[in-house]
Structure 1
Amino acid sequence: MTAGISAPGRPSIRARTLRTDRWWLAPAVTAASLFAFVVYATIRAFWNGAYYAPPYISPFYSPCIATNCVPGSETIYIFGDWWKLSPALIILIFPLGFRLTCYYYRKAYYRSFWASPPACAVSEPHRSYTGERRFPLILQNIHRYFFYFGLIFNVILTYDAVIAFRDADGDWGHAGLGTLVLLVNAALLWLYSLSCHSCRHIVGGRLNHFSRHPVRYRMWTFVSRLNARHMLYAWLSLFWVAFADLYVAMVASGTISDLRFF
């Protein structure tokens, strides 16, 4: 029996859509925003400079684990002298993988770049659809593992925000605008991670009776509230991490001076 769009009795509409509103605006803005971030992140990743202004380190380069890191910015040497490229190319693999496989970002770039579909009630240009059952989209299923790595980086970036309460000589009890920038960056990344769909499933999934697991139920309820704003946290954290990198870069390059509060 023929079903779907070819079912008998369905009207034959050749137009891609009958919508008269600006349905294309949302995917266009999304595509432009994501493209701008990718371009900026790529430039900064290959720049290999202006990422450390004591005590601030760019989130794109933290933790710096190669021997070619700027002195003072290194956390632990894992990649030896053989690594000649930018240290950011090692680090960005994990947060980028987490974002690329994120459930919200899948929707965002499926609609904006692949037009699959570009909007509700708008037909897509593809003749066939295989979903995420074949290569390369089947790799989206590793999102949960990138989530675990993302939590590790959140801890590291939170540590960076804490040590930003030092001055250039390493003395505690100081704070500047860069401290506030890194604190907000860490907070937004935690909100983005904890509102993740995978996080919601981890804390409350596979339970038949919430009444028998009151602690996990409270956790699931909290994460569910955050999950309702996952899209908002995704965008805020994306733009802020780029802003945090830009601020550190401008201070490190001498373009601006860090505003010290105390």
Structure 2
Amino acid sequence: MSAPADNGVGTGVQAPKRARIAERTLRTDRWWLQPLLTVLGLSAFIVYATVRSFVRTAYWVPDYHYLTPFYSPCLSTSCVEGSSHFGHWFGDLPGWIPLGFVVLPFLLGFRLTCYYYRKAYYRSVWFSPPACAVAEPHAKYTGETRLPLIIQNVHRYFFYVALIVSLVNTYDAITAFHGKTGGFGFGLGNIILLANVILLWAYTLSCHSCRHVTGGRLKHFSKHPVRYWIWTKVSKLNTRHMTLAWTTLGTLVLTDFYVMLVASGAIADLRFVN
């Protein structure tokens, strides 16, 4: 193969010292299928979550204290009676502001800056690159050194907020063990809420930032046996981060959809106790 021409064009696949291959790829498999499914999956969740966050209906079941995670915490006087577990911090909100506006931007930021999600939408949306051994259409590559991608570096701070939100969701799940006639109650909704919280905790704690916080700066593991033990457990969980990223999108939709059906009266909650 002859040496590539040094024309100084581009910093990616068109870099002067890269071999010139006219074809976009020499792959013969359906490499485009995974990026396509990723776009469809992420788009479906975004559309559903956006609609549900703004409709302001069927998000609270007063009989059993079921609250959808899309509206938690609900801190406005616009929230229906009983759904504000932590009081009213704000007055009535206009319709263009979702009732869960306090945490939704941080949760969105946590997901958008997640290391796995970066890979997912970089490849499927921006084609940077769309797949291994497939040339990206961009002539230049600057990485995460300029706006807006430099914001990805604040992922660790979104992680801290995500921990607080996970605690709030845990409180909501515990509060939901409420019977129709008072006291303790247990139904199918409790199983769904509890499973969603457990998986959200697993996704949050499997985050790369959590792995770094627990043991990333340790120089001598032997001097910090507790942190080392935590780091090893988080590291094992970290190998499931991609699976948990997708699973929790599904459980969030399932939880919200179930609460919506019960709250609207479309179905009755399957009760086991009270």
Q: Where on the TM-score scale, by shorter chain, does this alignment land: which range?
A: over 0.9
Aligned to 1:114: 126
Count residues with an aligned counterpart.
Answer: 260
Q: Deviations over 1:57-77 (max 9, x none)?
A: 000001110110010001221
| 8 Å contact from structure 1 (residues 48, 88) kept in 2 | no
CA distance in 2 between counterparts of 1:93 and 1:237 reads 17
CA distance in 1 between counterparts of 2:252 and 2:182 reads 24
| 8 Å contact from structure 1 (residues 46, 89) kept in 2 | no
Instruction: Give unpaired runs (5+ residues) of structure 1.
Output: none
Q: CA RMSD in A?
A: 1.8
Aligned to 2:270: 259
Q: Deviations over 1:39-86 (max 9, x none)?
A: 000100110111001310000001110110010001221112355543
| 8 Å contact from structure 2 (residues 166, 197) kept in 1 | yes
Does 1:38 find its partner at 2:50?
A: no
Indicate the SS of the match to 2:137. Answer: coil
Indicate the SS of the match to 1:64. Answer: coil
CA shift in 2, pair 1:13/1:189, >3 Å: same
| 8 Å contact from structure 2 (residues 103, 165) kept in 1 | no
Q: 1:34 is matched by which residue type in structure 2?
A: L
Instruction: Give unpaired runs (5+ residues) of structure 2.
Output: none
Q: 1:27 is matched by which residue type in structure 2?
A: P
CA distance in 1 between counterparts of 2:35 and 2:81 reads 43
Aligned to 2:75: 65
1:214-229 maps to which residues of 2 (within 5 A)?
Answer: 214-229=225-240
CA distance in 2 between counterparts of 1:108 and 1:170 reads 46
CA distance in 1 between counterparts of 2:139 and 2:180 reads 59
CA distance in 1 between counterparts of 2:104 and 2:12 reads 42
Aligned to 1:186: 197
Does 1:209 find its partner at 2:217?
A: no
Q: Deviations over 1:137-196 (max 9, x none)?
A: 111111111111111111111111111211234411x10000000000000000000100
Aligned to 1:237: 248
TM-score relative to the length of structure 1? 0.94
CA distance in 2 between counterparts of 1:80 and 1:231 reads 39
CA distance in 2 between counterparts of 1:186 and 1:130 reads 38
Indicate the SS of the match to 1:49. Answer: coil
CA distance in 1 between counterparts of 2:140 and 2:69 reads 40
Q: State the shift of 1:95 in Å.
A: 1.4
CA shift in 2, pair 1:4/1:191, >3 Å: closer
